[in-house]
Amino acid sequence: MDAKKEELYVFQLLHFLVSKYQYQLVTVRQYKQDKWLMNPAQKDYPIIYLTSLDKEQLALKMPSIRQVHQVIAQLTQRNTQLLILHTSDDAEIQREASCLIAPIHPGSCEEEGVKACFEGIGEAVYDSPEPQKEVIQLTHSLEELQAASLRKLKQQGFVQKMPLVTTVTVGICMLVWLLVALLSSYLENDIIAALLGGAYYKMNIISLHEYWRMITAGFLHLDIIHLLCNMMALYSIGKVCERSYTKLQYLMILIGSIVIGNLFVFLTEGNSICLGISGGVFGLFGAVIVTLFADHSIQNPMVKASVMRLLVMNALISLLPGISLFAHLGGLVAGVFMGIIFTKVPRWAHLRIHVTISFAILVGLSFGMASKLDLIEPLDRQIDRTYYHTVKKLGLDSYAKRIQQAYLHYYSKEELGI
């Protein structure tokens, strides 16, 4: 291997940034010879590309560099400028909105921002009487640093890698399913167990003002297949969303999407019993789509194709019998709106204001319309009668009395079995 001095400088910079600033080497399958570094914790330059190509060769390669940058940016969830460290003799400073090219030569870094961010970066590059031998030594040292970094990650354990809020939410849903399944076995009635567990029921929301069902219904499942499908979707989308938003924002998107989804059902459908977290999952999906537009990842053909496939697949699922289209639609709308509000992209400053106002109007009008409904056509007399008598049988006398007073607006005492 005949190492040119410009290539040696690249390896010296790699070793400097990996050892001192905890960057990780990123290998791109199509461009294995390219030198990419990633550090999501680095505030200014989480992604760096290092090259010794001359100026003309670099200009020809820029389209593929930008494409790889978009993919890595999606992994880091950081919509920041790409830093290219250029060691060629003809390298010049170039500043663009999405890219900064900074020449690096022995003892010299002409770009002040890079010099301030990486103290000593100019001194990290130097000439060597035996460049080939030094490149080999630096390569071995980099391999050892990467191996040590991987060992450290393994020692930290799997728990730290898990998306905390998503994992806890999955655990809550599974616990609620187990409790309701036990209650269903005891009562020998799935529907009554679901109602006692907090399922969405328009009859009770209107007559008993049980607005909390708009939230609790999202964490409730009866069928094990329904539960497992929703949990797999929640985990796969939730772990991506959790990297893009704070834990509080994530919870607001999830719960807000559940509520808005059930509110859409309340305003558009008749009396029904609904349950499941799919409205919240659609909300998280909407928020993830927002991040793809925010960091330009959606411009990547592979990312765009994946999003389109998911949208079409979920649209078809939403049209299946027994699936609430409006719960999914409401959740998706809420997720997109809140995603834009929470994503602090400078170019979206005005959009964020308009979206915030529009979302506030949408929520305000929806709840205002919902508050005007004071009567509903009963779904099934046998369900309501059984629910009332089950509550009474369980010794919940105060609640049973409230149910009786509310249901007597719809049924006679004989129909309720009083």
Backbone angles phi, psi at 11, to 5 degrees: -65, -35
pLDDT exceeds 50 at position 1: no
CB 259 within 8 A of CB 202: no
For residues 332-360, give the mean pLDDT: 93
What's the CATH superfamily of 162-371? Answer: Rhomboid-like (1.20.1540.10)
Q: What is the pLDDT of residues 271-320, one digit of tens each?
A: 889 999 999 999 999 999 999 888 777 877 777 887 888 888 877 777 66
- CB atoms < 10 A from the CB of 232, how many? 12
Per-residue CA distances from 239 to 76, 82, 309, 310 (Å):
13, 25, 19, 16
- Return the pLDDT at 271: 87
DSSP type of residue 121: T
Cβ(138)–Cβ(211) below 8 Å: no
What are the distances in angstroms from CA 338 to CA 254, 282, 292?
A: 10, 12, 14
Q: Residue 2 — pLDDT band, cuts 50, 70, 90?
A: very low
| For residues 68-84, average pLDDT | 76
Q: How far apart are CA 74 and CA 69, in angstroms?
A: 9
Residue 15 pLDDT > 70, yes or no?
yes
pLDDT tens for 118-161 read: 998 989 999 888 888 888 888 888 888 877 766 665 555 444 46
Average pLDDT over the chain, rounded to an integer: 87
Residues of the chain with CATH 1.20.1540.10: 162-371
Q: What is the pLDDT of residues 378-395, one digit of tens each?
A: 888 999 999 999 999 999
Residue type, 390: T
d(CA 53, CA 88) in angstroms, rounded, equals 6
**Token pair for 87:** 């060691």
**Bridge partners, residue 99, by sequence:** 82
pLDDT at 14 over 50: yes
**Confidence band of 321 (pLDDT split at 50, 70, 90):** low
- Determine the pLDDT at residue 77: 60
Instruction: Write down the pTM of the prediction.
Output: 0.66
Q: Can you tell me the distance from the alpha carbon of 54 to that of 61, in angstroms, rounded to the nearest whole number?
A: 11
Give the whole-angstrom CA distance, residue 270 versus residue 411: 18
Mean pLDDT confidence for 169-191: 94
